[in-house]
Amino acid sequence: MTHVSVAVPCRLQINGQGYAADLPPSVTLLDLLRERLGLIGTKKGCDHGQCGACTVLVDGKRVKSCLILAVSIPDAAVMTIEGISQNGRLHPMQQAFIDTDAFQCGYCTPGQIMSAIALLEEGHIHSRAEIREFMSGNLCRCGAYNGIIDAIERIVAQQRGNHAGEAA
Amino acid sequence: MNVISTHIGQPVSRIDGVAKVTGQAKYAAEPHPPGMLYGVVVNSPIARGRIETIHDAEARQIPGVIEIMTHLNRPHAALFEKSYMDGLGVPGAPYRPLHDGEIHFNGQPVAVVFAETFEAAREAAMLVRVDYERWPHNANFEVALHQKYMPSKTRSNYVPPKPRGDAAAAYALSAVKTEGRYHLAPEHHNPMEMHATTVIVEDDGTFTVWDKTQGPQAVQAYLASALSLSKDQVRVRNPYVGGAFGSGLRAVYNVFLATLAAKMLKRAVRVTLTRPQMFTHAFRPEAVMDIALGASRDGTLQSMIVKGVTDTSRFEHNMENIVIWGLINYRCPNATADYKVAPRDTYTSSDMRAPGAATGVNLLEMAIDEMAYACGMDPLAFRLHNYSDIDAMHDMPLTSKALRDAMAQGAQHFGWHDRSMIPGSMRDGRELVGWGMATGIWDAMFSPTSARARLGQDGRLHIATAASDIGTGTYTILAQTAAEAFGMPLDRIDIELGDSALPECPTEGGSWTAASAGAAVWLACHSLRTKLFAALARCKNAPSWARQDSVKLEGGALHGMNENAQDSLSLSDALSLTGQDVLEAEETAKPGLRGKISQMRKARFTHSAVFCEVRVDPELGTVRVTRLVNAVAAGRIMNPKTAASQIRGAMVMATGMALHEDSLMDERVGQFMNHNFAEYHIPAHADIPDMDVLFVNEHDDEVSPLGVKGVGEIGMCGTAAAIANAIFHATGRRERNLPITLGA
Amino acid sequence: MRSFSYSRPSALDEACQGAESVRFLAGGTNLIDLMKSDVERPAHVVDIKSLPMRDITDRPDGGLRLGALVTNADTAAHPLVTGRYPLLASAILAGASPQIRNMATNGGNLNQRTRCHYFYDPAMACNKRSPGTGCAARGGRNRIMAVLGTSDACIATFPSDMCIALAALNATVNLHGPQGERTVSVRDYHRLPGDTPWRDNVLQPGEIVTAIDLPPAPFGPHHTYLKIRDRQSFAFAIVSVAVGLQMEDGRIRRGSIALGGVGTKPWCVPEAEALLNGQPPSHSLFRDVAERLLHGAVADRDNAAKIRLAPRVIERALWQAAVGTPQSQTDKAIR
Ligand SMILES: Cc1cc2nc3c(=O)[nH]c(=O)nc-3n(C[C@H](O)[C@H](O)[C@H](O)COP(=O)(O)OP(=O)(O)OC[C@H]3O[C@@H](n4cnc5c(N)ncnc54)[C@H](O)[C@@H]3O)c2cc1C
Ligand code: SF4
Ligand code: FES
Ligand code: FES
């Protein structure tokens, strides 16, 4: 049996820009980004929540966009990899990934970076073991794990340096 | 070649880094031509049989569905199996997608739904119902073993084992004997990017095919042949590949189906596989190895008997080199090996990272460890005691083998000498600590490759070859090579890869790209430089210093030498002077370039020594890998940063091989049941400790023109064994089946 | 995923209209996954995320009420939870991944379905998905399937981590439905498969989980959530154990224990827990408890290892709790 799907209004802020359209409810946030908005930086590695390649921030929190219906997060602020560099300047996490060779094929990379940015915000950064545990929702088949942890630790150290500077 | 290294050998960051960290790098499923249709494949849930009826009426009702392509309505494609042969050269009758109604394997595509939106195609694919006549099948490896055979025609890269001495007699007489059956579960490549193809129909009716492949030219040839097109009607592009590890060596069915549909519908189409569909094509074969070793009491190997079987499909004879490695790498007067394949009704197994050696070296190195213990010898000392300086199987000298150095430096770095010999004797709190080691060996290969170097008015150097960067760092090392060869800063070099229209390059695989494409780029740059100098010399209005022999190219400009040391000329000015818009050179690197003689008479391998620490909970049997050190002897290292990542990446995959990866076949249906990332476990962040990679000095200018051996596979070879051996050292229990999972 | 209609009511009664072909959507991490796999085929999806069930509040008895829509991540990080129910926080953090926990809700976690490979594959016989078709998992590749509470009709494991802790904590589920409100103990919420494996739990059509109530947990540091799995993180349990012990003068006054990964529902055996009461911790006691918990376990083709492993995990977890060294979910060495 097939059912009629009535288009539903979808209203979002994507990387700071307003988006509004009527969408079939079966469109996921991931497919909206990739197929309807051309934001291909967010990757699809499984489409079932199992790999983390599709990680984006919704209202500042990291989530897997493949398991979210685009119409189900009205007025949410969505941040993707395309939104984190400003005026062509890389986000420090992006630069750290390059510096530590934290990727090979690059396919898991946008998801790792978005996850890492959220991780810093969450503060699960007290040890390499803790960073590893809280990055484990992002698989990397190329096995760039060491580099990713190095990149995150670099930013943590930078931030600590900055805070120390502020405190002084 | 005489390379003074200002660029080669430097730990340069990836030049494609910005594209990747910003999400701008475009992979196969990412071009979006106007009017593109989405294709979703429907697969057979049975292993053998025949399609009786396809019910697609309901699916066609879904708004947006344009066509449902099956064997009944597809356009013409080549009839004969030989037209579907691909670059890998597996003997047999290649599978022809949607050829007819016969089912050869579970997961075989039976229909493809094309619709204007992905959502419509996905829904309609769920509504296609197919009736089958079921035929008996066998997908059980144990049963298949009874039908094992030696294919009459072997794969071109198959190396038949060469016996020496009398292994059976020597075994019988040996004072110390070990014998066992070792097993490796089937594994799936599972690159992070799922296989996908986007086909653009150009205005002139030709097809531009963005495919996830390791060989754009191989796919071009395959499509031309299988779809009865001429080669200039198909251009295949793969500038970025989200990993492949061998899954992109053969043309996967999505590329055939997408291009066939574009031909049928005269419209752009895209077919992307799902993660479960990633378990319906290539996989590393399941393997058993029976290994019997004999040694004298002082630990001298006397006999080696290795028998191995891997699985293949019923229609092709896939083969791997799994039994030869011990015969090559160890000095042992009597040795013999035997290899066969076992057929089952599945898709054909295929090459996965370090095919043959990942299986054969790891299982053998587990057996060697057992023998070392049987002789009461330290496993490192045992290996040194039986070290071979030649290819012992072919009795051939080697271009180089710095394995002794690798063992020494790896052991030193790891602290191996503090190890206690007795299993179960090292503890940290509750956990047993185990230290294990193994050696690795892999072919150092070279394939003829062409590259083009072009200098443009903008003063930039443009390099092109049809190589694929599947995460291997090829963009970067080729830029370094060009920078070195042409005296050019890295940021003024553009590298173009991943396009069948570019100069010929073999399919990426086997770690030969660095050596081969690197050499081609080197030659092309030198040739371009010679051309530039010659053009300037002919050029009347060029400054006189620039028309002489004593000119050098440095920092992206021409400089005078000696008394003219102050003079310089920018490359764009130089080009203008010659009156040309571009200057271009194309060259082909062949193995004969330097090592003509040695190519014939010397064997060439990459080696490694891997050391591992595990912690095992003695009551629960849980295993944690807490340290890995890999010392690698791989000739010249073009870029220690990207090379170390290659080694680490393979070690991660080998950790999966040792502890996690196991494609679970349900023989009743012939299907791998855990076909997703939640149940087929690849290592996650939490599974992987800090890994140290050392490159030992190995100067070898015979192995390849630039002295490069390649680093893509060697990290797989030995690492899984080192983990298994460490588990033995921790617990005193030998596990002969990989992966070693909970409750084993 | 098949087409469906969608609504997002903001009042509870509007949401609870009740029909077999309606599904509630919360975090979506399970429902959307299953719809994409063509296992769930709702005609209508009621998005419940605008309903008012989003708080964690104190209870007069010193317990806590967890709103059904609070995310797993927020629950695990909430000071009242980490302070009073570290066992629950630990179990939540042992499950899934940070991203999924940011999406997954407490009500959704309770109602998540099995990960049985055969359930997920519409081409396979599965009584849970398609009543009466048989159970392909039996005799198949079933190392992840259950060994306790199974029936001829179904051997699927209930996969949650959070619910194992909820069972050990003796939580109560609050339901609101067309017939009004009711409460059910977490231990009685999930059903044994029996002859009707398609019914995972006692939820009636149109009924919604509004909150989960936690009674006071007098365990102090004497608790643990110990999860054994195929990789160190981001994998479902092969065996997991939630324990809380009320210790008094070196003796166990009262013990509470639940198993995950091995049962068709969170596995609790009151007789096993009763063995603990009033006893000092000892190897023989813990062995007896483990034995009692595993009583009646049956393996199928691939999952006998669970029966071997479970008692050892139980004993270790009991020791962790007795000694007051709960398992860390970050440091992977098992305490
Ligand atoms: C890759 C992956 C790995 C995972 N690993 C783990 C793990 O290791 N451990 C673990 O415990 N879990 C794990 N999970 C499962 C995850 O915890 C659940 O999917 C999640 O808790 C479900 O919550 P949700 O809000 O997303 O539910 P939804 O997907 O929205 O709903 C799930 C079901 O519950 C029903 N439902 C939701 N809310 C209510 C309500 N208030 N009242 C009545 N019915 C309701 C829905 O109708 C639906 O049937 C994993 C999931 C994924 C995808
Ligand atoms: S175990 Fe249960 S869920 Fe799995 S196939 Fe059998 S009936 Fe279905
Ligand atoms: S694509 Fe969303 S988690 Fe894999
Ligand atoms: S870089 Fe290739 S999957 Fe992570």
SS3 B644: helix
| Contact criterion met (CB below 8 Å) for B518 and B453 | no
The enclosing domain of C266 has a CATH number of: 3.30.390.50
CA distance A165 to chain C (A): 29
Asked if residue B408 and residue B463 are part of one domain, the reply reads: no
Residues B703 and B690: their CA atoms lie apart, in Å, by 31
Element spanning B601, H or E: helix B592-601
Residues B713 and A78: their CA atoms lie apart, in Å, by 39
Listed in sequence order, the residues at least 6 apart from C83 whose beta carbon sits closer than 8 Å to its beta carbon are: none
Asked if residue B52 and residue B198 are part of one domain, the reply reads: yes
Return the residue of C nearest to A111 by Cα: C99
pLDDT of residue B43: 98
* DSSP tally for chain B: helices H, then strands E: 17, 31
B642 Cα to the center of ligand 4, angstroms: 13
Please answer yes or no on whether B622 and C228 come within 8 Å at the CB atom.
yes
Q: Single out the residue in B561, B589, B617 at which a domain terminates.
A: B589
Q: Could you identify the atom of ligand 1 that is nearest to the CA of residue C161?
A: 11
Ligand 2: lining residues by beta carbon, under 6 Å: C 114, 116, 118-119, 126-129, 135-137, 145, 154-156, 197
The enclosing domain of B212 has a CATH number of: 3.90.1170.50
The enclosing domain of B731 has a CATH number of: 3.30.365.10
Indicate which of B189, B192, B279 best probes the interface with A, i.e. most A CBs within 10 Å of its own CB: B192
CB proximity A7 to C under 8 Å: no
Buried b (16+ CB within 10 A) or exposed e, B441-473: bbbbbbbbbbbbbbbbeebbbbbbbbbbbbbbb
Residues B26 and C170: their CA atoms lie apart, in Å, by 52
Asked if residue A100 and residue A74 are part of one domain, the reply reads: no
Residue B178 Cα distances to A128, B175, B370, angstroms: 42, 10, 7
pLDDT of residue B514: 85
Q: Could you identify the atom of ligand 1 that is nearest to the CA of residue C91?
A: 11
Asked if residue B487 and residue B363 are part of one domain, the reply reads: no
Instruction: Verify whether ligand 4 is closer than 6 Å to residue A108 (CB atom).
Output: yes
| Contact criterion met (CB below 8 Å) for B669 and B138 | no
Please indicate, yes or no, if residue A143 is contained in any of the structural domains.
yes
pLDDT of residue B175: 98
- Measuring CA to CA, which residue among B453, B454, B488, B506 is closest to residue B710? B506
Q: How many domains does chain A have?
A: 2
Asked if residue A68 and residue A28 are part of one domain, the reply reads: yes
SS3 B530: helix
CB pairs under 8 A between A and B: 182
Tell me the residues of chain B between 421 and 460 that have a Cβ less than 8 Å away from chain C. 429-431
Q: Assign 3-state DSSP to chain B and report helix, strand, coil percentages, each to 5.
A: 30, 25, 45
Asked if residue A77 and residue A130 are part of one domain, the reply reads: no
B511 band by pLDDT with thresholds 50, 70 and 90: confident
Residues C245 and C253: their CA atoms lie apart, in Å, by 7
Pair type for strands B449-455 and B461-464? antiparallel
Instruction: Verify whether ligand 3 is closer than 6 Å to residue A54 (CB atom).
Output: yes
Once rounded to an integer, what is the mean pLDDT over residues B184-213? Answer: 98
Q: What letter would DSSP give residue B92?
A: B
Residues B341 and C188: their CA atoms lie apart, in Å, by 53
State phi, psi for B180 to the nearest 5 degrees. -170, 160
Residue type, B625: V
Residue with token string 């469109």: A27
Identified catalytic residue from B67, B316, B661, B713: B713
pLDDT of residue B550: 81
**What residues in chain A have per-residue pLDDT under 50?**
1-2, 168
Tell me the residues of chain C between 106 and 125 that have a Cβ less than 8 Å away from chain B. 115, 117-118, 120-124
C173 band by pLDDT with thresholds 50, 70 and 90: very high
Please indicate, yes or no, if residue B87 is contained in any of the structural domains.
yes
Asked if residue B208 and residue B172 are part of one domain, the reply reads: no
Please answer yes or no on whether A137 and C33 come within 8 Å at the CB atom.
no
| Contact criterion met (CB below 8 Å) for B190 and B238 | no
Please answer yes or no on whether C233 and A132 come within 8 Å at the CB atom.
yes
**Residue C41: CB atoms within 10 Å:** 18
Please indicate, yes or no, if residue C297 is contained in any of the structural domains.
yes
Residue type, B484: E
CB proximity B618 to C under 8 Å: no
pTM of structure: 0.98
pLDDT > 60? residue B596: no
SS3 track for B400-430: CCCHHHHHHHHHHHHCHHHCCCCCCCCEECC
* Residue range of the domain that includes C294: 223-323
Its ipTM equals: 0.97
Report the residue from B14, B62, B652 with minimal CB separation from A143: B652
Please indicate, yes or no, if residue A71 is contained in any of the structural domains.
yes
Asked if residue B648 and residue B720 are part of one domain, the reply reads: yes
Please indicate, yes or no, if residue A74 is contained in any of the structural domains.
yes
Please indicate, yes or no, if residue C303 is contained in any of the structural domains.
yes
Residues B25 and B291: their CA atoms lie apart, in Å, by 47
Tell me the residues of chain A between 22 and 61 that have a Cβ less than 8 Å away from chain B. 24, 26-27, 31, 34-35, 38-51, 53
pLDDT of residue A165: 63
- Measuring CA to CA, which residue among B287, B409, B292 is closest to residue B355? B287
Please indicate, yes or no, if residue B529 is contained in any of the structural domains.
yes
Please indicate, yes or no, if residue A3 is contained in any of the structural domains.
no
Strand partners, B271: B39, B197
Please answer yes or no on whether A103 and B29 come within 8 Å at the CB atom.
no
Tell me the residues of chain B between 624 and 653 that have a Cβ less than 8 Å away from chain A. 641-642, 644-646, 648-653
- Residue C70 has which token pair? 């609070």
* Residue range of the domain that includes A163: 92-167
- Measuring CA to CA, which residue among B616, B647, B634, B608 is closest to residue B700? B634
Give the neighbours of chain C: at least 3 Cβ pairs within 8 Å: A, B
Share of chain C above pLDDT 70, in %: 100
Asked if residue A104 and residue A62 are part of one domain, the reply reads: no
SS3 B659: helix
Please indicate, yes or no, if residue C35 is contained in any of the structural domains.
yes
Buried b (16+ CB within 10 A) or exposed e, B152-165: eebbebbbebbbbe
CB proximity A158 to C under 8 Å: no
Instruction: Looking at chain C, list the stretches that DSSP marks H as alpha helix, in order from N- to C-terminal side.
Output: 12-15, 31-36, 72-77, 79-84, 86-93, 98-103, 106-111, 162-168, 186-189, 270-276, 283-294, 304-323
The enclosing domain of A22 has a CATH number of: 3.10.20.30
Asked if residue B662 and residue B524 are part of one domain, the reply reads: no
CA atoms within 13 A on the CB side of B636: 25
C19 band by pLDDT with thresholds 50, 70 and 90: confident
B612 band by pLDDT with thresholds 50, 70 and 90: very high
C196 Cα to the center of ligand 1, angstroms: 21
Asked if residue A155 and residue A119 are part of one domain, the reply reads: yes
Asked if residue B549 and residue B483 are part of one domain, the reply reads: yes
Give the neighbours of chain B: at least 3 Cβ pairs within 8 Å: A, C
pLDDT of residue B594: 52
The enclosing domain of C29 has a CATH number of: 3.30.43
Mean pLDDT of chain B: 95
| Contact criterion met (CB below 8 Å) for C16 and C176 | yes
CA distance B123 to chain C (A): 5
Asked if residue A78 and residue A41 are part of one domain, the reply reads: yes
Once rounded to an integer, what is the mean pLDDT over residues B448-456? Answer: 96
| Contact criterion met (CB below 8 Å) for B128 and B55 | yes
For the CA of C127, the nearest ligand = 2
Residues B272 and A40: their CA atoms lie apart, in Å, by 14
Instruction: Verify whether ligand 4 is closer than 6 Å to residue A105 (CB atom).
Output: yes
Listed in sequence order, the residues at least 6 apart from C65 whose beta carbon sits closer than 8 Å to its beta carbon are: C55, C56, C57, C58, C59, C174, C211, C212, C213, C214
**Residue C9: CB atoms within 10 Å:** 15
B4 band by pLDDT with thresholds 50, 70 and 90: low
Residues C335 and B617: their CA atoms lie apart, in Å, by 9
Interval B275-309: pLDDT, tens: 999 999 999 999 999 999 999 999 999 999 999 99
Residues A56 and B132: their CA atoms lie apart, in Å, by 43
Asked if residue B413 and residue B329 are part of one domain, the reply reads: yes
Listed in sequence order, the residues at least 6 apart from C253 whose beta carbon sits closer than 8 Å to its beta carbon are: C246, C247, C277, C278
- Measuring CA to CA, which residue among B149, B155, B85, B606 is closest to residue B354? B606
Q: How many domains does chain B have?
A: 3
CA distance B594 to chain A (A): 31
Please answer yes or no on whether B624 and C36 come within 8 Å at the CB atom.
no
Residue C284 Cα distances to B46, B589, C289, C306, C318, angstroms: 51, 73, 9, 21, 12
Q: Single out the residue in A25, A57, A83 at which a domain terminates.
A: A83
| Contact criterion met (CB below 8 Å) for C163 and C266 | yes
Contacts of A63 in chain C (CB under 8 A): 99, 102-103
pLDDT of residue B513: 86
Asked if residue A24 and residue A77 are part of one domain, the reply reads: yes
Contacts of C230 in chain B (CB under 8 A): 660, 681, 741-742
Share of chain B above pLDDT 70, in %: 98
Asked if residue A73 and residue A107 are part of one domain, the reply reads: no
Please indicate, yes or no, if residue C62 is contained in any of the structural domains.
no
* Orientation angle between helical segments B253-265 and B216-226, nearest 10 degrees: 50
The C-alpha R_g of chain A, in whole angstroms, comes to 17
Interval B65-109: pLDDT, tens: 999 999 999 999 999 999 999 888 899 999 999 999 999 999 999
Ligand 1: lining residues by beta carbon, under 6 Å: A 49-50; B 678; C 23-31, 33, 48, 68, 72, 95-96, 100, 103-105, 107-109, 111-112, 159-162, 203, 208-209, 236
Positive or negative: CA dihedral C121, C127, C130, C134: positive
Residue with token string 């021409």: B558
Please indicate, yes or no, if residue C284 is contained in any of the structural domains.
yes
Q: Hey, whose CA ends up nearest to atom 11 of ligand 1?
A: C160
> Chain C residues contacting A, CB < 8 Å?
1-6, 8, 25, 27-29, 32-33, 35-37, 43-45, 47, 49, 73, 96-100, 102-103, 232-234, 329-332
Asked if residue A129 and residue A99 are part of one domain, the reply reads: yes
Please indicate, yes or no, if residue B172 is contained in any of the structural domains.
yes
Asked if residue A107 and residue A156 are part of one domain, the reply reads: yes
Asked if residue B351 and residue B452 are part of one domain, the reply reads: no
Asked if residue A112 and residue A76 are part of one domain, the reply reads: no
B524 Cα to the center of ligand 2, angstroms: 62
Q: How many domains does chain C have?
A: 2
| Contact criterion met (CB below 8 Å) for C168 and C87 | yes
CB proximity A47 to C under 8 Å: yes
C288 band by pLDDT with thresholds 50, 70 and 90: very high
Q: Single out the residue in A83, A116, A140 at which a domain terminates.
A: A83
Provide the greatest CA pair distance for chain B.
87
Please indicate, yes or no, if residue A100 is contained in any of the structural domains.
yes
pLDDT of residue B592: 62
Asked if residue B438 and residue B332 are part of one domain, the reply reads: yes
Strand partners, C151: C154
Cis peptide before B91 (omega within 30 of 0): no
Mean pLDDT of chain C: 97
User: Is B713 annotated in the active site?
Assistant: yes
CA distance A167 to chain B (A): 32
Please indicate, yes or no, if residue B554 is contained in any of the structural domains.
yes
Strand partners, B436: B612
Q: Single out the residue in A30, A60, A83 at which a domain terminates.
A: A83
Q: Could you identify the atom of ligand 4 that is nearest to the CA of residue B192?
A: 3
pLDDT > 80? residue C37: yes
The enclosing domain of A146 has a CATH number of: 1.10.150.120
Residues B125 and B114: their CA atoms lie apart, in Å, by 9
Which residue from A54, A114, A136 has its CB within 8 A of the most atoms of ligand 3, so it is best to mutate?
A: A54
Asked if residue A68 and residue A21 are part of one domain, the reply reads: yes
B512 band by pLDDT with thresholds 50, 70 and 90: confident
| Contact criterion met (CB below 8 Å) for B211 and B236 | yes
Provide the greatest CA pair distance for chain C.
61
Please answer yes or no on whether B45 and C123 come within 8 Å at the CB atom.
yes
CA distance C281 to chain A (A): 31
* Residue range of the domain that includes B538: 17-24+447-589
| DSSP string of B559-571, one letter each residue | EE-GGGTT-EEEH
- Measuring CA to CA, which residue among A27, A21, A121, A18 is closest to residue A76? A18
Please indicate, yes or no, if residue C67 is contained in any of the structural domains.
no
